[in-house]
Chains A and B, each alone.
Chain A
Amino acid sequence: MYAQLVETGAKRVKSLDEMSPEERAFQEKIDAETKIEPKNWMPEGYRKTLIRQISQHAHSEVVGMLPEGNWVTRAPTLKRKLQLMAKIQDEAGHGLYLYSAMETLGADRDEEIEKLHQGKAKYSSIFNYPTLNWADMGAVGWLVDGAAIVNQVVLQRTSYGPYSRAMIRICKEESFHQRQGYQILLDMMREGTDEQKQMVQDAINRLWWPALMMFGPHDDESPNSQQSMAWKIKRKSNDELRQMFIDQTVPQLEYLGCTAPDPDLKWNEETGHYDFGEINWQEFYDVLKGNGPCNRERINTRKKAIEEGAWVREAAVAYAKKQKQRAAAA
């Protein structure tokens, strides 16, 4: 998931009887699957939770460009370079759709980006891992975008209209990302040297667990989930989504001829799902707190991009003013 541990401010979910008339009318609308639109009344907690979740989602798209940007100049062929650039451009676009959706809630884009740079806002833990070899580009597309798709497909039905519509656009574009990633790995496994095949397995070994962490903590460790589910901001629980992802990914892993770094991963005939081992939650919380392998580097790169691009934004404003004055004088 691109949003993890989103604070709702609620200790427990209120029953309909405990709500004010406005809150009750709102909740009934949600229960009837009516989308909430920007001008509708909404509880302050709903607005704040959405701003947190959508901004975190947008920041993830934007920071998500960085591990891939590392490989634009190192892509093995022109075809792969073009595909990678198209994927990165999509991610910039997805960030922008989401920032726009967030702004309909009255949040200011600059302020939210500033919160990211000060370490007050989060982005997905997955982007704090380095991309060390070319197979990582394949594994990121396949596993990371794959995990994001599982989450985002469900979010198309989220209760807030602008967020839901942004998710629909994003999902349409995202499946190209996952396919191009898988194809990179397939090519390496089919036509690669032994060393290249080892690179694929190495990339999977490093990214497998961080990809599973993307869905966030266990349901019983996730105090905000209940309120988010009641508001239908979230539609499925973290554990449900993680299981869906594993069930659809393991056959693809086997087709590649690779393995997961999890000795407990096996098909369970009784449940009809794959069983899998316990995630290293200490690592998850460490990365979220800012102590992953690349946290500092990612934030510094973002800050540098904003600072070094300041003159372009200033020039654009100056140019627009000058054109306006010229038009008025003519």
Chain B
Amino acid sequence: MSEWRLYEVFVRSKHGLNHKHVGSVHAADAEMAMENARDLYTRRNEGVSIWVVPSDMITASASDEKEVLFDPSEDKVYRHASFYELPDEVGHM
């Protein structure tokens, strides 16, 4: 199995929704990864479309980078609609 590459599996559960990560499979190639993903993650109509991506092709943020990456957006409250208060007379906007 160590010779088999690891693939991450993403399934679109319904038309109109995003693909969502569901897990991973080992496979000798992408075609086999697709077949394995179908057997493993969509035995009960869980999806209408599958992506398989070699795991080593994914660049992920590290958990200790969390503050560097995400803290700067925390103090920018003016990016949210709720920051701007409007008089009731203006109605829905």
Contact = CB atoms under 8 A, between A and B. Distances in A.
B6 interface: yes
Interface stretch (A8-16, A103-111, A214-222, A247-255): A103-111
B50 to A, nearest CB: 15
Given A37-B63, A39-B63, A316-B32, A100 B3 contact: no
Interface string B38-75: 01100110000000000000001011100000000000
Interface residues of B, number: 21
Given A39-B60, A39-B62, A324-B29, A93 B2 contact: no
B40 A96 contact: yes
Contacts, number: 49
A320 B60 contact: no
Contact of A109 (B1, B22, B44): B1
Given A39-B62, A96-B25, A100-B24, A90 B1 contact: no
Nearest to B26: A109
B44 A173 contact: yes
Contacts of A313: 1, 4, 28
Interface in A220-259: none
B1 A110 contact: yes
Contacts of B63: 37, 39-41
Interface in A286-328: 313, 316-317, 319-320, 323-324
A70 interface: no
A324 B32 CA distance: 13
A320 B26 CA distance: 13
A97 interface: yes
Interface string A73-109: 0000000000000000110010011001001000011
Given A37-B63, A89-B43, A109-B1, A316 B26 contact: no
Nearest to B6: A103
B2 A110 contact: yes
A320 B2 contact: no
A316 B3 CA distance: 10
Interface in B8-49: 22-26, 28-29, 32, 39-40, 43-44
B38 to A, nearest CB: 11
A86 to B, nearest CB: 8
A323 B29 contact: yes
Interface string A29-43: 000000001011100
23 contacts: A37-B63, A39-B60, A39-B62, A40-B63, A41-B63, A93-B39, A93-B40, A103-B6, A103-B24, A108-B2, A109-B26, A110-B2, A165-B23, A169-B22, A169-B23, A173-B43, A313-B1, A313-B4, A316-B32, A317-B3, A317-B28, A319-B28, A320-B32
Given A103-B24, A316-B4, 16 more contacts: A40-B63, A41-B64, A90-B43, A96-B25, A97-B23, A100-B24, A109-B1, A109-B26, A110-B2, A166-B23, A169-B22, A316-B32, A317-B3, A319-B29, A323-B29, A324-B29
Top 3 A-B pairs ranked by shortest CB distance? A320-B29, A320-B28, A316-B28
